[in-house]
Homo-oligomer: A and B are copies of this chain.
């Protein structure tokens, strides 16, 4: 027993530092005490190094033992010991828990020490470890006494702290004044982008893990708690259970846990270490070397809509863009007015005139993205969301548009009203717009090709992959592929374009497209599984509305997990597997990827490897996790 006097004692020690991973003996002990005393926190334990002075023999024995145990178990050990009247007893040893930083460092060090193989190192680090390294956290010491106001969905990881604002405009204004803000809203929409960019964090009362707020926040790496149903947003005031908070009050959100705290909690920044870089390169090696049938490698790409996102993802190790959404380009103030004129147009000529104003601006965006990706493939999705999202709403906007196209505001209104949709998710969107208004996609393809040719002239390598969304039928894709190909070929005929390779493919996001994959593959160079929409259609729930019931389904364990976060293998996965198999029956080498939000989820990545996908694509901040999870999938599924 450790409490048999001053030559007795007890302690807990780690063979390496579980916080930093440094190869230093680490621990605490108390003389004349038992295990509970160390844990209870009544007495303050001493550092393990102090034991060397108190009892050198025991200390040296302990060091010897920890070295031996670590070598035997080939992992960092967490040991409990007791000294009874000078005799050392090891009560227990086990592999120690560690922070993300420590996990990576220990894994890399142990490979260098030839204690473990690279493969073992890869299997020992978890996605959560890597994720931790990429986001700020609430100081663990501060969490204990903090008041949790409510819990929402952990929509975008990391902690954020700021003063409450209720509109995107206010967010922009306050931040200009040097303040830090958390944007609190019922939900967000594309018009709020400006405010979302500058906010420290975002809190919404409705919407799920793939609501607009959540998706955009993750894309930007901004912490976000969504679907916090107890948050009732009123007029410049928010009520969370018994607490009323007004504009300017401080709040802290933790997008990693979903917790919302009263007041300003201290945050700690996470560190990116050189070991991480080494480690993730090993992961890439493993993925690159993997072989499935005639398919070599398993790539990680990113979803990125802007040159900035593309650059960041490139630095995080993305090898290409799996999804570049072009709609954000239209929300840009400069382009929006012309796009609105296009929507309200009555004739093809008017539409073309409006689109021609947008073309040079889109081209500039594409050039920036091609440059950032430096020759890696860039999958550009042609316009996807419903037109009505672009409809002007305020009186000023309507008047501005009416003036531009030269009609009276009251004559404009009925045209805009016609664009209203009951279920925009299931409405006039994606390639349906290109069937009714071919000019839209044609303009986008022109912009892509002009950008590609301009890059080629400057010797910047480019690999555009043009992706057509919301396809539900082979003939639909055949028609659109033909019109796209015609424009592409026109540009490829130019001398300076001779080295450009352009492929044309489709999203598989509508259940019918998955079902008819064999016929759709006849017209596609690649498939990209749009698992956000595919999950929504397969379950018949909308990501923006599921917040009202999905948490209850998970709480009651009707669903084992949220299928917008991780692929539902037996339902959505059934369609994916069916599409992958049948697509490849038509085209043996069909390139297959995933660009839904689940693409950054380790279980999903494992599934994607098993069904033969060529790559996964995820938001920039998730790329390092995907590099690891992809390697783990390779190792796990390659076991004999």
Chain A: residues with CB nearer than 8 A to chain B?
Answer: 186-187, 205-206, 229, 232, 234, 414, 417-418, 421-428, 432-433, 435-436, 470, 472-473, 475-476, 479, 509-512, 515-516, 533, 536-542, 544-546, 548-549, 552-553, 556-559, 568, 570-572, 574-575
Contacts and interface: CB of A to CB of B under 8 A. Distances in A.
A553 B435 contact: yes
Contacts of A234: 414
Contact of A475 (B205, B428, B558): B558
Given A542-B421, A571-B515, A556 B426 contact: no
Contact of A549 (B436, B475, B536, B556): B436
A479 B558 contact: yes
B548 A435 contact: no
Contact of A428 (B422, B516, B549, B570): B549
A427 B542 contact: yes
Contacts of A533: 540
3 nearest CB pairs, A to B: A426-B542, A423-B542, A427-B545
A549 B427 CA distance: 9
Contact of A510 (B539, B558, B559, B570): B539
Contacts of A516: 570-571
Contact of A512 (B426, B510, B571): B571
Nearest to A547: B428
A426 B428 contact: no
Nearest to A206: B418
A386 to B, nearest CB: 8
Given A426-B425, A515-B570, A473 B559 contact: yes
30 contacts: A421-B545, A422-B424, A422-B544, A423-B423, A423-B426, A423-B544, A425-B426, A425-B540, A426-B536, A427-B541, A427-B542, A427-B545, A427-B546, A427-B548, A432-B541, A432-B549, A436-B549, A436-B552, A472-B540, A472-B571, A473-B559, A475-B557, A479-B556, A511-B511, A512-B568, A512-B571, A512-B572, A515-B538, A515-B571, A537-B538
A548 B472 contact: no
Contacts of A476: 553, 558
A540 B537 contact: yes
